[in-house]
Structure 1
């Protein structure tokens, strides 16, 4: 990242980014992360209460709908991103109940033990304390619940990569904490979550547009850390 690029906290960053943020994977890293997330998500979600924590513009809510979910809650810190998500559900299946609410990953506006499936795509790094996030995820999920969570791989931070975007002709970067696998392991133990599966997806060269400028090292290292967790009885 250029030293002149402003580094913003998530709320002001997504307020600027929301108007141009699509409800689908829109870069090679997100395509790699999404393939891994979808492979770890339950194949069918009928009859299950699904929460997307850090739902953004609604990307994984749409995937959950495609897998049969009819009761869904999307929560995000950013009001403008939630508005973007709401606008994308005009074509939701009849009978689907989708609620959107503003909230922090460490203080979700949900009752205890209210979710069978919790999804969280590329959002936990916006919170410095991973343990606080996973404690909250454990609070709102039922024993036996499935959680599928992704974040940018720590190797990216080591290589100096940043999550950046353009708005109004200016480039910005979003502040993002680095959570190592050891952090995940310790936080899961404390929260009563079991790690059932871990994947470290890499870029597919076919996803990289011709002439795109990117660090060629990105083809040789994982770009995301994706986990399937299980809520234990406590």
Structure 2
């Protein structure tokens, strides 16, 4: 997810191709891990600090994509499992040896999993692709045991308002993914309806660790303006 991905094509007079959330993974999966992604890097960095050690915990990653977080969680000693609706993304996740048997295809709003099965359920960069945020949060809450944690993160609505786009490039073509911008109030309300207790709202800005990724993508001049606003909106809840 590149907040500036669509701009070069627009500057050359070519509008990005708009993809639905269902279409995008089929094109993106093959190159997803190879492209510098400062927002994913920021999310991984912030969630690691907020969620704490994973060793011995049963963890679920909803909309796990190519399994980047899952691989790290398993290497840290977690019993980590992933769900994604994209067979293309799951195929790339399955290529990671550490994730053998840990992946399930399914809808984030209708998880094919038992109640109270996990100590932690997380979902990153999924909410904007879901119209019914209540259903997503309710499912995350359902699969977590009492006392367990739910973590939900996405592109900050202020970043969306400022024109950041969810997009990527492949083969010289720029793509933009259609998405919604759920507010903190929307997600707080979804958590209350799911019976969750809100513990923290985190609104991190891009930091120095992400500057190098901007440089690798040839966008270092965009870094300072980008870091001036919150890049992510994340909420941590506990299930009572």
1:152 CA displacement: 0.5
Counterpart of 1:143 (choices 136, 146, 151) is 146
Unaligned stretches of 5+ residues in structure 1: none
Counterpart of 2:83 (choices 72, 75, 85) is 75
Provide the rounded CA distance (Å) in 2 between the counterparts of 1:132 and 1:39.
Answer: 27
Partner of 2:23: 12
Provide the rounded CA distance (Å) in 2 between the counterparts of 1:4 and 1:18.
Answer: 22
Provide the rounded CA distance (Å) in 2 between the counterparts of 1:97 and 1:157.
Answer: 36
Distance 1:116 1:18, change over 3 A: same
| Preserved contact between residue 17 and residue 167 of structure 1 (Cα < 8 Å) | yes
1:216 CA displacement: 4.7
Partner of 1:62: 71
1:225 CA displacement: 1.1
Distance 1:59 1:163, change over 3 A: same
Provide the rounded CA distance (Å) in 1 between the counterparts of 2:54 and 2:27.
Answer: 35
Within 5 Å, give how 1:1-234 maps onto structure 2: 1=6, 2=10, 4-22=15-33, 26-46=36-56, 48-69=57-78, 71-88=79-96, 90=97, 92=98, 98-205=101-208, 206-207=211-212, 208-209=214-215, 211-212=218-219, 214=222, 216-232=224-240
Once superposed, which parts of structure 1, at least 4 consecutive aligned residues long, lie more than 6 Å away?
A: none
Unaligned stretches of 5+ residues in structure 2: 1-5
Provide the rounded CA distance (Å) in 2 between the counterparts of 1:84 and 1:124.
Answer: 22
* CA deviation map 1:40-86 (0-9, x unaligned): 1231331x3211101001011122113211x3221001100000101
* CA deviation map 1:100-123 (0-9, x unaligned): 111111011101221111121211
Distance 1:125 1:82, change over 3 A: same
* CA deviation map 1:150-174 (0-9, x unaligned): 1100111101111111223311111
TM-score with structure 1 length normalisation? 0.88
Q: Give the match's secondary structure for 2:45.
A: helix
Provide the rounded CA distance (Å) in 2 between the counterparts of 1:50 and 1:33.
Answer: 16
Higher normalized helix content (fraction of residues): 2
Kindly tell me the number of residue pairs found equivalent between the two proteins: 224
Q: Give the match's secondary structure for 2:114.
A: coil
TM-score with structure 2 length normalisation? 0.86
